Structure 1
Amino acid sequence: MSRRETLSDHKPLLATLRGERQDIAPIWLMRQAGRYLPEYRALRAEKGGFLDLVNDSDAAAEVTIQPLRRFGFDGAILFSDILMVPSAMGQSLSFGVGEGPALAPPLVDTALGALQAVPARLEPVYGTVRKVAAMLSPQTTFLGFAGSPWTVATYMVAGHGSKDQAETRRYAYRDPQAFAEIIDAIARVTIEYVGKQIEAGVEAVQLFDSWSGSLSPAQFERWVIAPNAAITAALHARYPDTPIIGFPKGAGAKLAAYARETGVDALGLDETLDPVWANTTIPQDMPVQGNLDPLALITGGETLDQAIDFILSAFPERPHVFNLGHGILQDTPIDHVDRLLSRVRGAR
């Protein structure tokens, strides 16, 4: 057997990300470890808040493994948060009850140089990776992740999330030099952070740019494509066998430039993209991931079946990882996930 045949037999997701199409698309779901699972809710109630789970390597490893026990996904995604990077850069990270994350001090009125880096805040994440890597079956691919610089910067500048990232966009226009320093600093930390995830045991990495859709084409080139290209180049130089998935949510027509210019190995598609258009637009051999609407999964039934079949038919020759177009939602019925897996794995 060749190395590729062996890899395909044992790790279909990793083989797909390296460019080998499978007869049955491998599957994992963004946010598959989380609030829709009763076992997760029970553990969180026992441990306390979200950060208590993330910073407890034993608990975070358990959360990472929970959906694999229940569903047998082809990939495990590290349980953590994209805002661990700004925490390591020196901002204080908190999650209020019923609220989104908060970072202090916000960089809209605090100089980047005033932050005191605390890299030890990332050590629990590496501990989680080591624990999960020791627990996974030989068939399961272990995915690490990080937020891309633009998306991370939107939280660092404003101190919180927002619907349109207006505060950060204003800052980037008003003082592009200062904002470039923030982007470059995030990229440097991200390269080291992802590298240590790989060294601890992850086999592929996803770069989440959840808010890339808010930018104009010129700003997208500067704040999304350029820093992701720098991260990808650095990681490829150090870890050439580790595939990198780029996920620029909301990129729309800018997706083609992202695919050509960032150097990522595979491309995540959000639910707003026509997969047929994507298949004819992005580089011919590039693996893709996605792009089921999370609300179609909640709806279930024939609606879900038709959506699955349409996506599968859109990539007749291309390496394809089945996934959602964004994270699984809290009120997703578990039996709908079972139906999704049966439908995808029953397809030929």
Structure 2
Amino acid sequence: MAPILDVLSGKAQKRPPVWFMRQAGRYLPEYRELRASTSGFVDFCLTPEKAAEATLQPIRRFGFDAAILFSDILMIPLALGQDLTFAAGEGPVLGDLPDVSSMRDKAAQAGEALKNVGETLKIVRAALDPSRTTLIGFCGGPWTVMTYMLNGRKAYDRSLIRAFVYEQPELVAQVVDIVIEASAHYLKMQAESGAQVLKIFESWAEGFPDPLFEQLVIEPHIKLVNRVRALGVTLPIIGFPRGAEARCHDYIDAVDVTAMALGTATPLKLGVELQKKKPIQGALDPVALRSGGKALDAQIDTILDAWGQGPLIFNLGHGIFPDTPIAHVEQALKRIRG
């Protein structure tokens, strides 16, 4: 069995398997060359041959234990009929929210609407050694995806999006449920196309007062996992409520994920407690990876000392910075693998 699948079954490894969030990206010269061959980022994500090449580049260079689908969490709004572009220096820009009824009608067809992503997965799966490298598919968490859908380019402003929760609760509830249904069908399509593990990226899970974390993160994740299972998908699922360290126990106890990914700010003691319940993933500081040197080695050793005796997938607490030196990634992998 591939090392990551072994860990997800609950077995500790002598040295943990490793992959890095955003391991395909701008820090790689081969990625920059590939990206320059396509004008728009959405087209890049939806061109199977190019997206597959981006997915495979870090596997060829570093031999990571997992390849994660090269795509974006905002494919779901696109499948629901919302305009999506990526502006240079600004990130994603979404158009007006479509009519709720039209989105509801499209939710069950999200997998078909995004079938090019499935073609990417098929290409990648065929290129991987199944005994060594695991293929991970993913979606954005319902709350995070909804924040972009309602707030467009200002989704990073948490106060603005929380205003929708207080002022338009019915709309928020409707859109979240639509995103859950669309995401479940999207993940089902990914499983059928060759993904071996699925991950839910709830990138904006921090800063909620009670009871909003339960309402907007825990309950939607319960619904999403249950819906994916109801559609017949049995693959391991990793949950990642980034920035919600104070609520990790609540999350792992309530949501039936196979494993939990941990952010950079996770206390080591908390990781030990969570690891007694389920396998964990994380949580190296991407700033330490960018900095390299003795500080990087020291942080890796600290994580291995604290969590290495249990089921652990070594990863970052967030994505690789674009200006991270390749030599520092090589340094990290050498240290992790011993």
Common topology (TM > 0.5): yes
Cα distance in 2, alignment partners of residues 161 and 206 from structure 1: 25
Cα distance in 2, alignment partners of residues 207 and 161 from structure 1: 22
Among 315, 321, 328, which residue is 2:307 paired with?
Answer: 315
CA deviation digits over 1:224-255, x for unaligned, max 9?
Answer: 00010111122234456411100001102111
Matches within 5 A, 1:59-138: 59-105=50-96, 107=97, 111-113=99-101, 115=103, 117=106, 119=110, 120-138=112-130
Amino acid at match of 1:195: K
Amino acid at match of 1:208: F
Question: Which residue of structure 1 aligns with residue 198 of structure 2?
Answer: 205
CA deviation digits over 1:15-57, x for unaligned, max 9?
Answer: 1112111111000000101111000000111222322210110
Question: Which residue of structure 1 aligns with residue 3 of structure 2?
Answer: 12
SS at match of 1:188: helix
Question: More displaced, 162-171 or 299-308?
Answer: 162-171
TM-score, normalised via structure 1 length: 0.92
Q: Does 2:13 align with 1:22?
A: yes
Change (3 A) 1:339 1:307: same
Please state how far the C-alpha of 1:112 moved relative to its aligned partner: 2.3
SS at match of 1:326: coil
Cα distance in 2, alignment partners of residues 233 and 283 from structure 1: 23
Please state how far the C-alpha of 1:278 moved relative to its aligned partner: 2.3
Please state how far the C-alpha of 1:92 moved relative to its aligned partner: 0.4
Question: Which residue of structure 2 aligns with residue 325 of structure 1?
Answer: 317
Q: Does 2:140 align with 1:147?
A: yes
Cα distance in 2, alignment partners of residues 283 and 329 from structure 1: 27
Change (3 A) 1:262 1:330: same
Amino acid at match of 2:100: L
Cα distance in 2, alignment partners of residues 321 and 283 from structure 1: 11
Question: Which residue of structure 2 aligns with residue 4 of structure 1?
Answer: none
Amino acid at match of 1:277: L
Question: Which residue of structure 1 aligns with residue 333 of structure 2?
Answer: 341
Question: Which residue of structure 2 aligns with residue 182 of structure 1?
Answer: 175
Amino acid at match of 1:212: A
Flag structure 2 segments of 5+ consecutive residues without an equivalent: none
Question: More displaced, 212-221 or 22-31?
Answer: 212-221
How large is the Cα RMSD of the aligned pairs?
1.6
Q: Does 2:30 align with 1:57?
A: no
Flag structure 1 segments of 5+ consecutive residues without an equivalent: 1-6
Cα distance in 2, alignment partners of residues 269 and 89 from structure 1: 30
Runs of 4+ in 1 over 6 A off after TM superposition: none
Please state how far the C-alpha of 1:168 moved relative to its aligned partner: 1.8
Matches within 5 A, 1:167-178: 167-178=160-171
Please state how far the C-alpha of 1:342 moved relative to its aligned partner: 0.4
Cα distance in 1, alignment partners of residues 295 and 246 from structure 2: 26
Cα distance in 2, alignment partners of residues 34 and 60 from structure 1: 11
Alpha-carbon contact 2:16-2:308 (below 8 Å) kept:
no
Please state how far the C-alpha of 1:287 moved relative to its aligned partner: 0.4
Amino acid at match of 1:29: F
Amino acid at match of 1:206: K
Matches within 5 A, 1:204-223: 204-223=197-216
Change (3 A) 1:239 1:320: farther
Please state how far the C-alpha of 1:164 moved relative to its aligned partner: 3.3
Please state how far the C-alpha of 1:67 moved relative to its aligned partner: 0.2
Question: Which residue of structure 1 aligns with residue 187 of structure 2?
Answer: 194
Cα distance in 2, alignment partners of residues 332 and 218 from structure 1: 38
Q: Does 2:272 align with 1:299?
A: no
Cα distance in 1, alignment partners of residues 74 and 154 from structure 2: 11
Amino acid at match of 2:334: S
SS at match of 2:217: helix
SS at match of 1:90: coil
SS at match of 1:46: coil
Amino acid at match of 1:207: I
Change (3 A) 1:333 1:283: closer
Cα distance in 2, alignment partners of residues 237 and 278 from structure 1: 30
Cα distance in 2, alignment partners of residues 293 and 26 from structure 1: 17
Amino acid at match of 2:235: T
